[in-house]
Amino acid sequence: MAAPILSERELEFMLYELFDAEGLTERLRYSDHNRETFTMAMNTSRSIAEKYFLPHRQLLDNCQPTFDGEKVHQPSELKIALDALFDSGLATATANFELGGMQLPGIVANAVGSYLSAAGGVAIGYTGLTNANANLISAHGTAEQIEKWVVPMREGRFAGTMAMTEPGSGSGLADLTTSAVKDENGDYRIYGNKIFISGGDHDLNENIVHLVLARIKGAPKGIKGVSLFIVPKVLVNEDGSLGKRNDVALAGLFHKMGGRAQTSTALSFGEKEGAIGYLVGEENRGLYYMFHMMNEARIMVGTSAAVNALTGYQYALDYAKERPQGRLLSEKEPSSPPVNIIQHPDIKRMLLAQKAYAEGAYALCLLGTQLDDDVRTAPTEKERTAAHLLLDLLTPIIKSWPSEFGPKANYLAIQVLGGHGYINEHPVEQLYRDNRLNPIHEGTTGIQSLDLLGRKVPMKNFAGFQACIAEMTKTVELAKKSKSLNKYATELAEAIDVLMNTTHKVLSATQTMNIDAAFSNSVKYLDLFGHIVIAWLWLKQGIVAEKALLEQPHESDENFYRGKLHTLQYFFSAELPEIFHWARIVSDLDTTNFDMQEEWF
């Protein structure tokens, strides 16, 4: 039997032991669900992943999409797999029952989707983007827009995209130039060029609904003059049938290092009569609405990075258990059989690091989806507001930490396989290439670090920051009660102090020095904050594991929990101390980066 792509035990631990997914069934929205329905969704996902996506992962990597001037070509296996996913209901796992969805809690849907993501990589991105697009229109569109665009997306007939980036406007969306002019019907004509638009053209669906950021003629400069439009590939008649092609053209496809199953497109809007677009919400509030989709997409990106890391770790682990090579230094007998490489301490180091990064990152992403769920369905207003605050603060970390440390885990997976990891007969090199996108799209790591330090930490008079410190401190207090975890509690408390002092230093410095200089180590600050959050989540896992061990579990479970505790030890001894170095650079206001002159390079 083929090795599993993800550990089922790990997913169960996360859902039911670290988080309380079952408890969500007490909320009205999820009252038709129970652990059995969650397990059924999980099993369906695994079987679709293994039957339709996994066997074609390499094919979709090798056969990048092509464009013959009229049509995009992709292997037929992709459409078959996506149709199977859609027919199972899992593509709209969180959507309302009446729209054909499964109305699963976000955290469960996230875990369910992990099998698909592990086997299908970015192929799943088609459904993820479509859902996020439909969710945005559901939240900010009119009833008519919901009927016209969201319903067919939920039915799997239409796909959705987010079209923000332009050749001259990537990280700096304030400079986008795509324009919109009101026509005689009160709709808008859109003119401009977008690049890197994922799923911007393909034949997998009847229609594609682009959500396009554009500037209405005469709008204020900067982000305050950006509006959001629904711009379909094919116009839709009053009765819902498809009409004529809109003036949206595929200008070309990008060919990529990884993530090749999903088309990356350059789109031209309005080269002829102007592409018809329908305003979402009010004029000039486009970026605010787009954040609805971007925040969801940022958790999706973090999750995809974490799942890639988990999958690579699983392959590396299975390989290390079976690959005999070399002998331990302590073995003096040359004719003794070689050991499996998992016995070499350096291989254990690389597996431990992968486990620590991947499971830590995954816990963070599930926390993100849990908070997102709480924002919408927690019983009291107070709980919903608290969840919103914490999620807002953590979003740049949820997006970036897995995206930075996930590829590091994949790098180590390749190293565990040696030369066999470098060739494409084994999937770890593809996982690495696929994962390398994640620090780039949905806001680069650099941009996320500025968002964290400049906006999210000080927002609402540090309310989100304080809430995060309070949550971490609660875990410290709990862990202090345990003899074996007390040491980690002390170390985390010390790390939290470092975080508070560093934050104070760098933000106070902006009063007296150039902000570009003060923030020139913002990525180090993001790393520091991220490592502390992950250490917190590892301590939480340790508390669960320690408690479970007291109940004398079955042998395989005992091994599982001991593995958790040992990885906690690894993270605290090998990873967390990095923060002292990063903190020094940030709080000493080291201006080495800032001071470097262009001419000196």
Catalytic residue ranges: 442
By C-beta, is 286 or 360 nearer to ligand FAD?
286
Q: Please name which of 517, 514, 512 lies closest in space to residue 594, comparing C-alpha atoms.
A: 517
Both structure tokens of 280: 């979402």
- Shorter beta-carbon distance to ligand FAD: residue 305 or 367: 305
Residues near 20 by beta carbon (within 8 Å), at least 6 away in sequence? none
Taking the complex as a whole, how short is the minimal distance between the CB of residue 162 and ligand FAD, in angstroms? 5
Identify which of residues 190 and 450 has a Cβ nearer to ligand FAD in the complex: 450
| Closer by beta carbon to ligand FAD, 328 or else 513 | 513
If the CB atoms of residues 127 and 198 are measured against ligand FAD, the closer one turns out to be 198
The whole-angstrom separation of Cα 183 and Cα 186 is: 5
Contacts of 497 (CB under 8 A, 6+ apart): none
Could you give the CA distance from residue 241 to residue 152 in angstroms, rounded to a whole number?
Answer: 11
The C-alpha atoms of residue 27 and residue 375 are separated, in whole angstroms, by 13
In this structure, what DSSP letter does residue 340 have? B
Question: Minimum distance between the CB of residue 558 and ligand FAD, rounded to whole angstroms?
Answer: 43
Q: Are 395 and 368 in contact (CB under 8 A)?
A: yes
Give the nearest distance from C-beta 256 to ligand FAD in angstroms: 6
Residue nearest to ligand FAD (CB): 170
Closest approach, Cβ 323 to ligand FAD, in A, equals: 33
Continuous H helices in 14-124: 35-48, 57-62, 76-88, 106-120
* DSSP run (H or E) holding 209: strand 207-216
Q: How far apart are CA 313 and CA 370, in angstroms?
A: 24
Residue 489 per-residue DSSP state: H
The nearest distance, CB 125 to ligand FAD, in angstroms, is 9
Specify the residue, 125 or 421, whose C-beta has the smaller distance to ligand FAD: 125
The structure tokens 């995209």 sit at 161
By CB under 6 A, name the binding residues for ligand FAD.
161-165, 170-172, 196-198, 256, 259, 264, 437, 440-444, 446-447, 450
Amino acid 205 reads N
- Least separation in angstroms between CB 111 and ligand FAD: 24
CB 316 within 8 A of CB 413: yes
